[in-house]
């Protein structure tokens, strides 16, 4: 798709834009994860040149162009290909590369925090009669984490069973919200859950990598988080941080009642001895 767009518009490009276009085609793996500023620096042109090229190619901006490149790259990058990419690295370099990738995704998340989307979804979840969470394979770990903390502050949080999603949703309260979580390679099961919820008239939402995700098309609310695999691992450094933001958004939407709930939980944990006492604190 990108190659066709570049070919179609090549004669209209300035020399600087043409240089960026050549870099996008020749270094796809690298370019897919560069910011507009980084790409411009890499090619030797201004950030403005990169953005103008994006518009010339028919994208709303560079972020949309990069999202398409990233999704296309990850979709075609199998688990085996990912591990081969890391297999020849020296041990110390391997660890550094893994950590650096997570740092890059967190940095990307920090520069484009979807505040309005987080606020809207947090408010919707706080007002929903029940919140149903759907995630499959590696994304199920994100669902487990989100469910754990939401259950502290919301009265009706449920994780959708992989073997009977329709049965659960068919009996869901009419004012329920169904949240699906998935990143490339996307889970068909999660998309199907959102489609089922949509058909049943339930409010749908998703946490995914960008607006071109198949989950986004089935969702009223969408929160996006940068995503990069680390070797064969689906690394969720940035998505996990965005989930923390979502939990805080829900808590803020609920208001002062959250404090009372947390105080009740703390009393229960102390009474039941859930946590080991801090030995550094003096005894009462």
pLDDT digit string, tens, across residues 132-142 = 999 999 999 99
Alpha-carbon distances of 70 from 28, 81, 213, 221, rounded to whole Å: 9, 15, 11, 22
pLDDT of 133-166, one tens digit each? 999 999 999 999 999 999 999 999 999 999 999 9
CATH number 1.10.10.10 is the correct assignment for the domain at 2-76: yes
Between 47-56 and 36-43, two packed helices, what is the crossing angle to 10 degrees?
A: 110
Question: In this predicted structure, what is the pLDDT of residue 120?
Answer: 97
The encoded tokens of residue 235 equal 């690394």
* Overall pTM > 0.75: no
Specify burial of residue 148 (Cβ count, 10 A radius: 0-12, 13-18, 19+): exposed
The dotted CATH code for 115-270 is 3.40.50.10490
Alpha carbon distance 63, 79 (integer Å): 26
pLDDT of 67-126, one tens digit each? 888 777 665 555 555 555 555 555 568 788 888 888 888 888 888 888 999 999 999 999
How remote is the C-alpha of 142 from its chain's centroid?
Answer: 10
**Domain parsing of the chain, residue ranges:** 2-76, 115-270
- State what percent of residues in the chain have pLDDT above 70: 90
Question: In this predicted structure, what is the pLDDT of residue 159?
Answer: 97
Q: Do domains 2-76 and 115-270 have the same CATH topology?
A: no
pLDDT of 43-55, one tens digit each? 999 999 999 999 9
Question: In this predicted structure, what is the pLDDT of residue 84?
Answer: 56
Average of per-residue pLDDT values in the chain: 87
Question: In this predicted structure, what is the pLDDT of residue 283?
Answer: 46
């Amino acid at each position: 798709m990108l190659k066709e767009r570049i070919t179609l518009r090549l004669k209209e490009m300035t020399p600087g834009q043409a240089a960026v276009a050549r870099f996008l085609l020749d270094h796809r793996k690298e370019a897919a994860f560069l910011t507009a500023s980084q790409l411009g620096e890499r090619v030797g042109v201004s950030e403005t040149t990169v953005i103008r090229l994006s518009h010339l190619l028919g994208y709303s901006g560079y972020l949309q162009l990069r999202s398409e490149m990233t999704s296309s790259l990850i979709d075609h990058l199998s688990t085996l290909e990912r591990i081969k990419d890391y297999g020849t690295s020296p041990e110390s370099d391997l660890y550094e590369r893994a950590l650096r990738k997570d740092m890059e995704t967190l940095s990307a998340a920090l520069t484009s925090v979807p505040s309005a989307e987080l606020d809207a979804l947090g408010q919707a979840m706080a007002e929903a009669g029940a919140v149903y969470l759907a995630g499959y394979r590696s994304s199920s770990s994100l669902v487990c984490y989100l469910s754990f903390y939401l259950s502290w502050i919301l009265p009706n949080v449920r994780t959708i069973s992989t073997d009977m999603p329709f049965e659960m949703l068919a009996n869901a309260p009419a004012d329920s919200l169904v949240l699906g979580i998935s990143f490339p390679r996307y889970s068909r099961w999660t998309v199907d859950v959102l489609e089922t919820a949509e058909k049943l008239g339930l409010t749908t939402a998703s946490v995914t990598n960008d607006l071109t995700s198949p989950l986004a098309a089935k969702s009223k609310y969408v929160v996006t988080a940068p995503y990069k695999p680390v070797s064969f691992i689906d690394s969720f450094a940035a998505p996990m941080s965005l989930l923390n933001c979502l939990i805080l958004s829900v808590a803020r939407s609920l208001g002062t009642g959250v404090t009372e709930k947390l105080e009740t939980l703390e009393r229960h944990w102390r009474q039941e001895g859930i946590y080991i006492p801090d030995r550094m604190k003096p005894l009462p």
